[in-house]
Each structure stands twice: as structure tokens, then as C-alpha cells.
Chain A
Amino acid sequence: MTSLPSPRRRLRIGPGTILLAALAVYVIAILWSGNTQFLRPGNILGMLTRAVALGITAVGQTIVILCASIDLSVAALISASAVLASVVMGGSTTMIVPAILAVLLLGMVVGLVNGLVITRLRVNPLIATLGMAMVIQGILSAVVSNFAGEVPRSFRSFDSGTVLGLPVSLIFLGLVAAGASAILNWTRFGSNIYAVGGNIDAARLAGIRTDRVIIAAHLLCSLCASVTGLYLAARLGSGAPWIGRDGMYDLESIAVAVIGGTVLAGGRGGIWGTMAGVAIFAMIDSLFNVLGVDAFAKQVLRGGIIVAAVAAYAIGSRRLVA
């Protein structure tokens, strides 16, 4: 037996390191600017609550990226789900359950079609979901052009309610993340996702039905996006055909997953890294507000930060990327 050379110890940068660095920058910047009230628990909770929509979407996005796929249709699906929810509810409490069911059904259909186009027609996932985004957005814009429908007051507690002093939406995000993490870590389906993302040919030869895994991952991702649509309808009181696109949920969910250490090529990463990425984005936004950074300068810095965070992982990696 030839012994393999032991891997060289390198400085490994993980999502935890980046989260700690971001936290340190956040605290120092706030102490420096003298706005210490932003370090109170209430403000921190508020900051995290503003990231719930991105967080739920990013959980789904992480799952598809782990099996080496990607979903660019989430933003359009979020808009469509929010509009569908508020139109079906139409302000009446009795329609809440049918609206939720309709939205989840929409999410499942979109996820199923995405998965089938990718696996059966073997269309590159980027193109398949981009095309899906255009189809959803086009239909949606043809049907509604402004805020449509209304969400009843009771449904708005999905956003504004609290349990034991914690916001309901934040608890919900925690449950979604914990559920997804449990599926990925403790079920056969979860390990199949990592196997398919790591090496799809090896996974197939090992007897995994790779197509089913990819389709199921897309189903979960679209379900997460449609739930985000429900949440945004609760927060805004009504759905509009541009809320997903304006939030840039498609690209931002990919960015937070990647910042959280999930590799775009698939097979490596996890939900908690993504949650760290979401927290980092929330801190950046909050910090810009505290320091009074101009809205446009904010955008410039944001682009740079995304690239810098991803570049930080590449330190010590010799793999070529496309």
C-alpha cells in the first residue's frame, strides 16, 4: 500500500470565518460611528427579519446548486406567487387556505417543469430556468400591471406577528433552514443530492436515479420561492408583478449561497453556510444605512463585496473555474 501524501495545511477560509469578519467590521463600524443603539437585540432582530425573503429563497437555491444545477426563475416565481396569493385571498380570511394551496401548486408545477426540461430535454439549467423566468414574467405582466388583490389582516401576521418576542417570519426561516439541513444531512435523498452534484456519472453508476434527484431538488427550490412570494404578499399587503425582480432574488440568492461556501459546480456546501451569507448581506445593508451611504454608492460597494467574498475562498484553491 502506498501511503498518500498528507494534504498540505493551508489557511482555509470558510463561511464562519467570513461571517465573523463581517460581524467584526459591523461592530467596529457601528462603535466608530457612535450609533450604538444598532447593537441592541431589537435592532439586530429587525435587521435579520428584513432578510427573511432572501433567506427562504436561498435555502431552495442552495439545494439546486448542490446538485450542480441552478435556478434563475425564482424571482419571477416569487412575483407570480405573491400576485396569485393576494388575488385569490382578495381580502377575505376564508380564502387563505385555498390561496396557499394554489401558490404551492404553482410552485410545484414550475419546479417540475424546470426539472423535466433539464433532465429529459437535457437543456442547460441556466437556460432552462432563464427561459422559464421569461415565460412566467411575460404571462404575469400580460395579466396584471400593478398591485393586484389584497391580503387579509390575519394573514399579514405571517410578517408582523411575534412569538415569545421573536418575529414569526424569522422563526419560520429558522424552521425552513433546519428542515432543509436535516433533509440534506440525514436522509438518503440528501446524500444523493451531494452525490449527483459531486459526480453525476459516478452517481448514476452507483445506482442513483439522478434524474429524480434533480427534479426533486427543483421542486423544493420552486416551493421555497413560492413560499417567499406568500411571505412578501403578507409583508406588502398585496402582490405586484415586479417585487421579485426588484428584490433581485434570483441573483442574490445565488450570491449568498456562494458566499456561504456552496460551490457552483455542485457537491459541496450546505444550508448553514447560506444562512451565514444571508446574515452577511443583512449586515451590509444595515451598515450602509447606519453610515448613511448613498443608495447608488451602496450598489457599487455591494457588487464589489460579492466578488471579494467569493474570491476569498479561492485563496489556496488551484482549481480552474469557468
Chain B
Amino acid sequence: MTDAALPRPRRLSRLLRVNPIWLVLLILIGAIVALNPDFTEPQGYMNFLRRAAPLCILAAGQVFVLTSGGFDLSVGSTITLTVVGASMLLYNNEAATWWVILAMLGAGGVIGLVNGLVVALLRVPSLIATLGTMITVSGIGLMWSGGAPRGYLTDGFRAAGRFMWRDVPVIGLLPAALLVLIGGGAVLWWLMHGTNYGRLLHAVGDNPEAARLAGVPVARVRVLAFVVSSLSAVVAGILLGGFSGVSLDVGTGYELQAITAAVLGGTQLLGGRGAVGAALGGALTLTAIFTLLNFLGLPQPVREVVQGLILISAVALAVCRRDA
């Protein structure tokens, strides 16, 4: 309301419209470069992008559920299930790589479908529904592996997370994970901002009752959002399995990091506003913060404290900006 009463100078308003997350990211990258000049080498920034790729994909998928007004807490255990399940199915058989990836995507689709149907049709709040799937899915991973995963991830499966093309003109190095990130990011961006589905999703998140009365198939729109989120978790799991190997806690904590990244990018909790590009910026920013803390030699617990403080201040600032 105050915006209408007091028009700001145009240049300033255009500057304010740029998502501040990119500015924060620039400052952080500047700090990293100042601390570690090697970062400007391809080896430095490409490694950074490779490490950020899983969180970027995951955050971009989480934005769909957040925009619809829900939460998806099951992505962390979906990542773990992807890595553990793939190692069990592959059992060091290189030829199985492709169908295992397809099987894992299928499993992710089923998890998303269950989440979506429980929320949309059984009317269970998504916090509880995805909490239930989180517990169940990690239980399935434990049962399947008997508590200690056997088998190995084949080199073919790990390529997505680990492989780098060398001697590429102009950029020098090109990690396969970056291609996955660009491809996945583009598909999610198009789905959110280039299709009618994205608009319906915003409508449902903003006011589900109004959307229903306007003829939006609310249940279908919601179910698809959960499926997108779970599929993004599987892709993130494939990338993570590629560079960190098999363990039962690969996915631990990723659901919160994904929500943090999306919120840093300005996604509004409880629905109605979300942008894929900004979530990617949020994920890069979060990874940059972790990288910076690493360079400063701060131990893991301090990272947790900093992540907590960032999360709170990002949301507080977003509230201030919206009211200003």
C-alpha cells in the first residue's frame, strides 16, 4: 500500500527487484577468492559447482512442494534409499547401470506419488505425511541393506557425480554433474515458469479453496509437485553417490538444507510464491557459506550454528522486505 503512495525512483526500484540472493552470492564468492586465490582456477570453481549440484537440484524440486503450500521432509531418506538401493541392485555389475537408474527414478516416483496422494486425498498435513514417508523410507533402506549396505556403485553409475571432462576449450574442466545441474535446472525452471502447470501451482499455493472453485484440479497439481520433489531427490542421490560413495547417512540433513536454500532464494513458506532460479541461487549461496567456513577452518558444529542463524535471518529479512 505504501508502495503505491510513494513511487520510488525507477532505477532504485529496478535494483531492488533483483533478488538480493545473487548479491549475497557475489559477496561470498568474493570472500572465498580473497581467502583462496586458487578458487579462480577451473579446478576450484568447477569443484565448487560439482559439490553444489545435488543441493541445487534438490532445492529446485523442493520449491515445487513449498510453492504448493506444503513441505517435503522425505527427500533426505529418498537420497539415502537411492544410494543404498543402487549399490544393492548394481552389485558391481556395470551392465546394470541404466536400468538401476531407471528403477531408482521409478522408486522416487512412487514415493512422491504416495506423499502426494496421502496429502491430497487423505488430507493429512504434508508435514506429518512426509515425516511418515521419511521414517518409512529410511526403514526400507535399513531393511533392504540389513543395516550395512553391501555391493558397490559401478564406475558407470558414479560417473554423473564424479566424472570430469578435461581440456575442454574456454572453461578447461567440465564436470558431468554440472551438465546434470544445468539440464535438471532448465527442465524444472521451464516446468515452473514456462508452463500452465507452474501458474496452477502458484494458484493452489496462494489459496487452495479459490483455486478449486476456479476449476483447478487441486489434487493433481499437488501430487505432481510431490513427484517432482522426489524425482529431484533421486537425481541428487545419484550425484551424491557418485562422489561420496555408499553409506546409510548420505541423505541425512538434506531435507533441511533444501528448505533453507529455497527460503534463502525467497520462496515463501505456506505457499503461493516460489522461483526455481532463486532457489538455485539459494543452494549455491548455502554451499558457498559452507565452503567459506571450511576455508576458515571452522569445525562442523559451527557450520550448524551458522546455518541456523542464516535460516532465521533470511526469513526475517524476507518478512521485512515484503512489508517495506
Contacts and interface: CB of A to CB of B under 8 A. Distances in A.
Interface of A: 117, 121-124, 126-128, 130-135, 137-142, 251, 254-255, 258, 264, 294-304, 306-307, 310-311, 314, 317, 319-322
B312 A294 contact: no
B41 to A, nearest CB: 32
A255 B132 CA distance: 9
Nearest to B133: A303
11 contacts: A127-B311, A127-B312, A131-B311, A131-B312, A138-B303, A142-B299, A251-B131, A264-B125, A300-B136, A307-B122, A321-B125
Contacts of B269: 124, 126-127
A139 B304 CA distance: 8
A255 B308 contact: no
A321 B126 contact: yes
Interface of B: 68-71, 118-119, 122-129, 131-140, 142-143, 147, 208-209, 212, 218, 256, 259, 263, 269-271, 299-312, 315-316, 319
Nearest to A317: B123
B123 A321 contact: yes
B279 to A, nearest CB: 15
Nearest to A139: B305
A302 B209 CA distance: 32
Contacts of B134: 303
B143 A297 contact: yes
B208 A137 contact: no
A302 B138 CA distance: 11
Contacts of A254: 127-128, 131
A322 B126 CA distance: 6
Nearest to A305: B132
Contacts of B304: 134-135, 137-138, 141
B18 to A, nearest CB: 23
Contact of A307 (B68, B118, B263, B309): B118
Contacts of B308: 130-135, 138
Contacts of B133: 303, 307
Contacts of B132: 303-304, 306-307
Nearest to B69: A322
Contacts of A139: 301, 305
Given A258-B128, A310-B128, A296 B143 contact: yes
Contacts of B71: 126
Given A135-B308, A295-B142, A307-B128, 14 more contacts: A124-B269, A131-B312, A132-B308, A138-B303, A138-B304, A138-B305, A138-B306, A255-B131, A264-B127, A299-B138, A303-B131, A306-B131, A317-B123, A321-B126
B316 to A, nearest CB: 4
A26 B29 CA distance: 58
A319 B142 contact: no
B143 A320 contact: no
Q: Which of B142, B300, B303 has the most CB of A within 10 A?
A: B142
Contact of A303 (B135, B259, B319): B135
Contacts of B129: 307, 310
Contacts of B69: 322
B142 A296 contact: yes
In the A-B complex, the 10 residue pairs with the closest CB atoms: A134-B308, A299-B139, A303-B136, A138-B305, A138-B304, A303-B135, A300-B139, A307-B132, A314-B123, A322-B69
Contact of B301 (A138, A255, A298): A138
B319 A121 contact: yes
